[in-house]
Every structure is written in structure tokens, then in C-alpha cells.
Amino acid sequence: MFEKDKMAAELNKFLSQQNVKSKSDMEKALQLFMTQYNAKIAAPGAKDAEPEDVYDYLELAGKATNSKDRQKCLRQALKLDPDNLDAARMLIKEKYTTLPAVLEKMEELRQKADAKMEEDGTFEEDTGHFWGVSETRPYMRLIYEIMQIYIALGSMRRAAAIGERILELNRNDNMGARSDLLCIYALLEEKTKAEKVMKRFKGTTEGYVLLPLCVLYYKLGDLKKAQDTLERIADVNPDTEKVMAAMDAEGPWRNLEKLLAHPSPYGIRANSAEELADVIYNNHYLFGDIPTFYGWALDILAKSKRKKK
């Protein structure tokens, strides 16, 4: 999980030691770094080497099979870097067992991080591309987790505020927070805000973004826009009808679990049954409270199929 962060940190250190004056110099430096880095991680015994930095301890914590060992690794990481947000965030989850307690501690951690970044000018300098800067990725992971906790607690407007902040800090939304945000907007029937997000990501075809928008229009009674959005999904995802049928049948959540039972080693495929099943399954608070939607969707898809014939 932290291998890319480790590589980025080592790359930044390497580049700071190089005399880079041109694009050609940069290309040569990057090539040299990757050659040395790949040789290092491929060296005999590299995988079994003793941990040497924060990232190694974070990886070990992620692989630990019990809380005691995880906490030990995380505390060691914090010894090396007391300000490491990933280690602090993960340690909070190990030490506190209730969501309100975890949330309280994470919000305290966020406030400290905010103060530090305000002081050193990080917000002023990096707002808009926080995910592209390795040093600010831990902060993005922290606030995204806070957002998920607010959702779990039913504090949807607080969760939405975090989601809006995520999109502000990282315009490309590499974390996919727009899907979470659109699900919240659909629940709260916030059409204007939802369409503002969609305007920003104009032309998107991802089902995990379009499906909550479709539900929003359906809930508001704008069936023309709901149909248009559903057909946009179906145009690129041949499994749309399959997923709607799974939700319209008996035991819908078990049906989704079956669709998600054999994930690809490369993650969820775009425009697949897994993509739609995943967004529905992980946002039960929205998709579990619209039983008539799935029958309506199947009817629309059947009519659309007959028209195409």
C-alpha cells in the first residue's frame, strides 16, 4: 500500500541531490533513479531485509495478524516520524473501538495537521493537487477516512462537507470521492450540488458516478433525466440489466455478494457488473431504500432494448 509513497519520497531525495537544469537532465535523472531503485528492490533478500524507514514499518503494520504487533510497528514508525499521519491514523483505529471515539481522535489529528499546513504554506501552495504530492497524500487518506466515519454515523452533511473539501484539495479526485459525494447528494436530494460536480467531470461514463445521479433524478420525479442517465450507463456497461435484476430479485444483497465474490487481481473493472454492484453494496444507505427503482430501471432497459432492435 505504501510502496508508491516510499518510492516518491526516495525520488524526491534523489532529485534534490542531482544537478538538474533541463528536461533532458530530468529524463536522465529519472532513468538513473528507476534503474537503481528497481535493482535495490529486486536484490536477493530485499523482501526479508530489516525495516529501515517509516514506510517499511507501515507495510509491516498492514501485514501484522494481530493488534499488538500492528501497534508496535506503528509506534516504531512514529518514533522515526512523529508527524506521520498514516501511522497516527492507523494507531487510532487500533487503540479505540467505537466509531465516535475514533472520530474524535481523528478530528483532533486533522486539526493539528491543518494548523501545521497553514503555518508552512502547504494549503496555499498545493491546493488543487494534493494527491499528486506524496507529502500530502497521508492527509487525503485521513480526511477520506473521516468522511467514511461520518457516513457510517449517519452525519451526512458533515460527510458531504469533507467530500467537498477533498474535491477542492485534489481537482482530479484520484480517490473517487465524487461517487461518495454524489450518493450523499442523492440521499439529501441536493440536485444543484450534484449537477455542479457532474459539470466538473463532464463526459464521465463511470457507473459509480452516474448511478447515484440516476437515483437522484428518480427520487425527484425527473424521470426523463433519470432515464437518460440510466441509458448512458447501459450504453457502456452491458451488465447494467443484470445488476438491476439482481437488486429486483429476492435476497438482493446476497445477489450482489455473488457478483463481487471473484474480484479481478487488478481491481474492479470499469463498465462491469462488479462496478455497479460495488457502488450499490457500499452505499446501502442510499440504494437500500429505493425498492421501486430497480423494477423501473428494468422496464426502461427492456424498452430501450426493443427500440434498438
Residues in the chain: 309
Structure-block grid coordinates of residue 208: 459509480
Measured CA to CA, the distance from residue 79 to residue 66 in angstroms comes to 20
**CA contacts within 13 A on the Cβ side of 127:** 9
Q: What is the pLDDT, as a whole number, of residue 262? A: 81
Q: What was the pLDDT predicted at 17?
A: 79
Q: How far, rounded to the nearest angstrom, does the alpha carbon of residue 36 sit from its chain's CA centroid?
A: 31
CA-based radius of gyration for the chain? 23
Hey, what's the torsion of the CAs at 53, 55, 56, 62, to 10 degrees?
150
270 three-class SS: coil
Tell me the pTM: 0.87
Name 126's Cβ contacts closer than 8 Å, sequence gap at least 6: 133, 136, 169
Q: At what angle do helices 252-259 and 240-248 cross, to 10 degrees?
A: 150
The H-or-E segment that residue 19 falls in is none
Mean pLDDT, each 10-residue run in order, the chain (309 residues): 70 75 76 72 60 87 93 95 96 96 98 96 95 92 98 98 98 94 98 96 91 98 97 96 96 95 81 95 96 97 82
